[in-house]
Amino acid sequence: MPESTLVPAAQKCIALVAHDNKKSDLMEWAAFNLGVLQNNMLLATGTTGRMLQRELQLPVTCLLSGPLGGDMQVGARIAEGSVDLLVFFWDPLEPQPHDPDVKALLRMAVVWNIPMACNRATADFLISSPLLLSAYKRRVPDYSARRP
């Protein structure tokens, strides 16, 4: 039976990740949504986070760069329950040396039922959802039978 976790109405933790070829798209999207983003807690992989800090003066908790373990750090935060939304502009046409980490991050978002946008259109829908501004009862699957 799935359990529920109450995601508070106040600030959400939004994780932001972008592959190199998608960083400019994420920066444009973030600039357009600056008002919403600055009212939430932001977490990002290294280079993306530093770009958000530098170009948009946003307070961002920066993790490692994706290829150096940042994707895995975001995935761990999702598993710990500290991420409410993942915006990951990934490049499906460019081979990534850390592709297993990318797939693991996407998998963690699905496993823990975290809203996730992998392109700008989906990110637009999620960031403009009234659920972002309200408390939300997110269903979390019960994996207790799978634990040792």
Question: What contacts 132, CB < 8 A, 6 or more positions away?
Answer: 12, 36, 85, 126
Q: What is the Cα–Cα distance from 71 to 57, expressed in whole angstroms?
A: 23
Structural tokens at position 46 = 């290294």
Annotation says 71 is catalytic: yes
Structural tokens at position 3 = 């359990």
Active-site hit among 25, 71, 99, 142 = 71
Q: What is the Cα–Cα distance from 7 to 25, expressed in whole angstroms?
A: 28
User: Strand, coil or helix: what is 127?
Assistant: helix
Query: How many CB atoms sit inside 10 A of residue 16's CB?
Result: 25
Greatest Cα pair distance, the chain, in angstroms, is 46
Provide the annotated active-site residues. Answer: 71
